[in-house]
């Protein structure tokens, strides 16, 4: 379970998150929507400690992420993250990209880590690309590679930061398909996304962020059918 | 033209020249290794938020880049003598070249670090890697690729620069050539032979570097 | 009175004039070599970029020698070659000829890079407007290429300024040679080297800063 309590985040003088309270249960898929600059991506970075926070708390499975003594490297193993720019490591093959962290972070043997990597790459449909370098993969393939790289750490939670925003339109489908598959397998997911179709069909809940505040949260039917906040109504009218 | 070329004495001393050529390679390579380590540290110091570290790095880098290499050798040779430090000719050359290499390489490394996207580091940290792991496994290999070509150039430059050893009395290729030439007065012949050896050394370095690059960077 | 004013033990005010005069010699050698070398280098660079294969290959092989043999060796070689072929040129003229050729070799590759950086479509566009070859060179390729070339050219020029110190090997009294002479006489190596170093630094540092600024401004 991820519990976020009264979270405040500043970049210098900019107050980008203004007191977020949010709980995500095991097995839940939460989509976060909202215009750019609303603080939704920053929230993900605060959850796995890539950004410091100024007030409040983030608790993952009972452990407070921003405590001084927190073992961030351990916590992050449990929180897979997929970025907008897919960030595949260009000097490693697909197989090595996925096998590296299990080997050096989890200290698995070389054979074990390679076996896990192969299995995870097959899982996302890249079985024929094991020895390919990222430069020879399409954006969609690289993003699926990034997903399998995160999955190889066997996290219980996956954070997606606009995973399809940087892709060419014809490549969005394959990545969404992979995310849908994960959701069906019961993975706990927080997806910052601009794909309203995905948010509506796959999520258990949808949250709308506006100017550092979580304006509204509810089932997809509630948010897309009968939004309460004026901001939400306006946003949805524009994206449709 | 009433000058008679005498090649035989040069030919007879060829083994000595080649041996001195090995010394040239040795001192250049050593100065590159030291220069690389120091250059990395200087680059990190210049990027660090600590003001004294930054100033130290900037002073070193700018002095190395904006004064003649020969001046730097003189400084380590004679300048330090003012404080009672007297280095051997070999050490003068090694310290001087390393100082110079470090200054130039530091700027290359800094450019390399800035060229690797911040997100590569973040992605590595998000997988649970420590700061050290993310730096050594993910960032540095990519920096290395960026600085590989400039490093090759610096190695060539180190070989050429090492000839200044002649001016401080160390007998690598140039020094040995001068020593032999002064004994026989066949100055032109000896220095032509040295020039050919330098040319070959430089070409070998460039060739090896190309070969190595082809093996190392298959991922492009 | 002047004769007896001393900074430290052996350093007299007259020595300062001696150093200053030597600094002027350094400036003169560098200025002449850089201007003649740049002129020659521009022509060679144009040949490297636009010439027929034979021209390119020949030019490149010749210029490559000047980049692959230590300048010190080149200086000694040519200084000793000129009397053999019947011109006794002395250190100043020999130094300038070698430094000019060396500058030419470095400038040529910079200029070639500059010309090649103006992409084919741009040239086609210019020619399609009805410009002649020379017109497209003058109005399109030259102005665009200049931006790519100027920072690197400043780098080459500063390199030659610093390398001009090597003419001292021929016994010519430029700044570093003068320093060496004074160091032996006055036993004040640190002070004298600091003065000489400051001279080079004061010339080189602002210019290299300026060229970095140009590069950054034109990069966007």
Q: Per the CB < 8 Å rule, is C165 touching B71?
A: yes
Chain B residues lying within 8 Å of C190, measured CB to CB: 79, 82-83
CB contact under 8 A, A81 and B123: yes
Q: How high does pLDDT run on average in chain A?
A: 92
Q: Which of A90, A91, A149 sits opposite B127 (nearest CB)?
A: A149
Task: Kindly report the three-state secondary structure assignment for every residue of chain A.
Answer: CEEEEEEEEEECCEEEEEEEEEEECCCCEEEEECCCCCCHHHHHHHHCCCCCCCEEEEEECCEECCCCCCCHHHHHHCEEEECCCCCCCCCCCHHHHHHHHHHHCCCCCHHHHHHHHHHHHHHCCCHHHCCCCHHHCCHHHHHHHHHHHHHCCCCCEEEEECCCCCCCHHHHHHHHHHHHHHHHCCCEEEEECCCHHHHHHHCCEEEEEECCEEEEEECHHHHHHCCCCHHHHHHHHHHC
State yes or no: chains B and C have 3 or more CB pairs below 8 A.
Answer: yes
Among partner residues B74, B83, B203, which is closest to C176 by beta-carbon distance? B74
What is residue C4's predicted lDDT score, i.e. its pLDDT?
47
Query: What pLDDT is recorded for position C5?
Result: 47
Q: Is A224 within 8 Å of chain B by CB?
A: no
Give B116's DSSP letter.
Answer: S
Please report the pLDDT score of residue C146 as a whole number: 83
Domain spans in chain C, listed from the N-terminal domain onward: 11-209
Which tens digits make up the pLDDT trace of A26-84? 999 999 999 888 889 999 999 989 999 999 999 999 999 998 888 888 899 999 999 98
Could you tell me if A116 and A163 are in contact, meaning their C-beta atoms sit under 8 angstroms apart?
no
pLDDT (mean) for A93-97: 94
Whether the per-residue pLDDT at A9 is higher than 50: the answer is yes
* C201 at B interface, C-beta within 8 A: yes
Residue B17 · residue B80 · CB < 8 Å: no
Averaged pLDDT score across all residues of chain B: 92
Contacts of C69 in chain B (CB under 8 A): 160, 195, 198-199, 202
Selected for mutation to probe chain B from C7, C65, C73, C207 (highest B CB count within 10 Å) is C73
Return the CA Rg of chain C: 21
Mutation test of the interface with chain B: which of C10, C66, C69, C164, choosing the one with the most B Cβ atoms within 10 A? C69
The hierarchical CATH code for the domain B16-214 is 1.10.3720.10
- Domains contained in chain A, number: 1
- ipTM for the predicted complex comes to 0.89
Q: Tell me the chain B residues in contact with residue A89 when contact means C-beta distances shorter than 8 Å.
A: 120, 123-124, 138
Q: At what angle do helices C175-186 and B69-77 cross, to 10 degrees?
A: 10
Chain B: nearest CA to C161, how far in angstroms?
8
Q: Residue A118: its pLDDT value, please?
A: 95
C-alpha distance from B104 to closest chain C C-alpha (Å): 13
Q: How many residues does chain C have?
A: 220
Second CATH level (architecture) for the domain C11-209: Orthogonal Bundle (1.10)
* pLDDT attached to residue B152: 96
> CA nearest B65: which of A46, A57, C208?
C208
Write out chain B residues lying below 8 Å of C194, CB-based: 79
Tokens coding C137: 């060179």
Return per-residue pLDDT of chain C as tens, 220 residues.
344 444 455 677 888 888 888 889 889 999 999 999 999 999 999 999 888 999 999 999 999 999 999 999 999 999 998 888 888 888 999 999 999 999 999 999 999 988 888 777 777 777 777 777 788 777 777 888 888 889 999 999 999 999 999 998 888 888 888 888 888 888 788 888 999 999 999 999 999 999 888 888 876 6
pTM over 0.90: no
Find the residue in A nearest to B142 (Cα).
Answer: A91
As a residue count, chain A comes to: 240
- Mean pLDDT confidence for A211-218: 93
Interface B-C: count of C-beta contacts within 8 A: 106
Range with the poorest average pLDDT among A189-198, B131-140, C29-38, C81-90: C81-90
**Please, are residues C188 and C8 in contact by the beta-carbon 8 Å criterion?**
yes
Range of the domain at A123: 2-239
On chain B, the residues whose CB falls within 8 A of the CB of C183 are 78
Indicate which CATH number applies to the domain containing A106. 3.40.50.300
Helix %, strand %, coil % of chain C (to 5) = 85, 0, 15
Using CB atoms, which residue from B125, B127, B142 is nearest to A90? B142
The Cα A152–Cα A84 span in angstroms is 19
Q: What is the pLDDT of residue C3?
A: 45
- pLDDT at residue A187, as a whole number: 95
Q: Which of the two residues, B127 and C140, has the higher pLDDT score?
A: B127
Q: What was the pLDDT predicted at C9?
A: 59
- The ranges assigned to domains in chain B are 16-214
CB contact under 8 A, A91 and B219: yes
């Amino acid at each position: 379970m991820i519990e976020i309590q009264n979270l405040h985040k500043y970049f210098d003088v900019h107050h980008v998150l203004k007191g977020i309270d949010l709980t995500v249960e095991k097995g839940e898929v939460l989509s976060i929507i909202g215009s750019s600059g609303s603080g939704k991506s920053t929230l993900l970075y605060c959850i796995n400690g890539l950004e410091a926070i100024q007030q409040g708390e983030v608790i993952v499975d009972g452990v407070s992420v921003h405590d001084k003594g927190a073992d961030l490297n351990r916590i992050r193993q449990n929180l897979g993250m997929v970025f907008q720019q897919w960030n595949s490591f260009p000097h490693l093959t697909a197989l090595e990209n996925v096998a590296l962290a299990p080997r050096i972070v989890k200290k698995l043997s070389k054979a074990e880590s390679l076996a896990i990597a192969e299995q995870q790459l097959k899982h996302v449909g890249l079985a024929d690309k094991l020895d390919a370098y990222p430069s020879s993969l399409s954006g969609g393939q690289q993003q699926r590679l990034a997903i399998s790289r995160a999955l190889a750490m066997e996290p219980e939670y996956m954070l997606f930061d606009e995973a399809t925003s940087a892709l060419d339109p014809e490549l969005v489908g394959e990545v969404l398909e992979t995310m849908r598959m994960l959701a069906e397998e019961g993975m706990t997911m927080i997806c910052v996304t601009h794909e309203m179709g995905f948010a509506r069909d796959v999520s258990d809940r949808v949250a709308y962020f506006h100017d550092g505040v979580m304006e509204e949260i509810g089932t997809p039917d509630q948010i897309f059918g009968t939004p309460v906040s004026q901001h939400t109504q306006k946003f949805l009218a524009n994206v449709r | 033209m009433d000058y008679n070329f005498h090649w035989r004495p040069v030919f007879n001393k060829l083994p000595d020249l080649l041996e001195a050529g090995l010394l040239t390679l040795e001192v250049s390579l050593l100065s590159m290794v030291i220069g690389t380590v120091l250059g990395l540290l200087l680059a990190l110091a210049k990027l660090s938020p600590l003001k004294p570290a930054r100033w130290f790095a900037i002073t070193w880098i700018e002095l190395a880049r904006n004064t003649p290499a020969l001046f730097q050798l003189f400084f380590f040779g004679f300048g330090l003598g003012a404080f009672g430090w007297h280095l051997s000719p070999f050490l003068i050359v090694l310290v001087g070249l390393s100082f110079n290499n470090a200054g130039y390489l530091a700027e290359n490394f800094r450019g390399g670090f800035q060229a690797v996207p911040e997100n590569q580091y973040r992605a590595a940290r998000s997988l649970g890697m420590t700061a050290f792991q993310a730096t050594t496994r993910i960032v540095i290999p990519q920096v290395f690729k960026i600085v590989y070509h400039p490093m090759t150039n610096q190695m060539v430059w180190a070989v050429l620069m090492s000839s200044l050893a002649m001016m401080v009395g160390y007998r690598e290729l140039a020094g040995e050539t001068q020593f032999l030439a002064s004994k026989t007065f066949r100055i032109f012949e000896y220095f032509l032979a040295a020039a050919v050896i330098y040319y070959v050394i430089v070409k070998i370095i460039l060739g090896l570097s190309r070969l190595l690059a082809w093996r190392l960077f298959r991922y492009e | 009175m002047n004769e007896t004013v001393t900074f430290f033990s052996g350093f007299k005010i007259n020595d300062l004039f001696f150093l200053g005069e030597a600094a002027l010699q350094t400036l003169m050698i560098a200025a002449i070599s850089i201007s003649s070398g740049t002129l020659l280098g521009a022509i060679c660079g144009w040949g490297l970029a636009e010439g027929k294969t034979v021209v390119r290959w020949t030019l490149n092989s010749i210029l490559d020698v000047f980049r692959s043999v230590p300048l010190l060796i080149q200086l000694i070689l040519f200084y000793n070659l000129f009397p053999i072929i019947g011109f006794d040129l002395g250190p100043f003229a020999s130094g300038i000829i070698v430094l000019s050729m060396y500058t030419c070799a470095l400038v040529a590759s910079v200029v070639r890079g500059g010309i090649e950086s103006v992409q084919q479509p741009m040239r086609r566009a210019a020619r399609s407007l009805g410009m002649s070859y020379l017109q497209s060179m003058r109005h399109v390729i030259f102005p665009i290429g200049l931006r790519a070339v100027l920072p690197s050219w400043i780098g080459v020029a500063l390199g030659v300024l610093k390398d001009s110190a090597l003419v001292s090997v021929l016994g010519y009294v430029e700044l570093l040679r003068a320093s060496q002479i004074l160091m032996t006489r006055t036993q004040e190596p640190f002070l004298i080297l600091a003065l000489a170093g400051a001279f080079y630094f004061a010339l080189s540092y602002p210019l290299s800063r300026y060229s970095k600024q140009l590069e950054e401004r034109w990069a966007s």
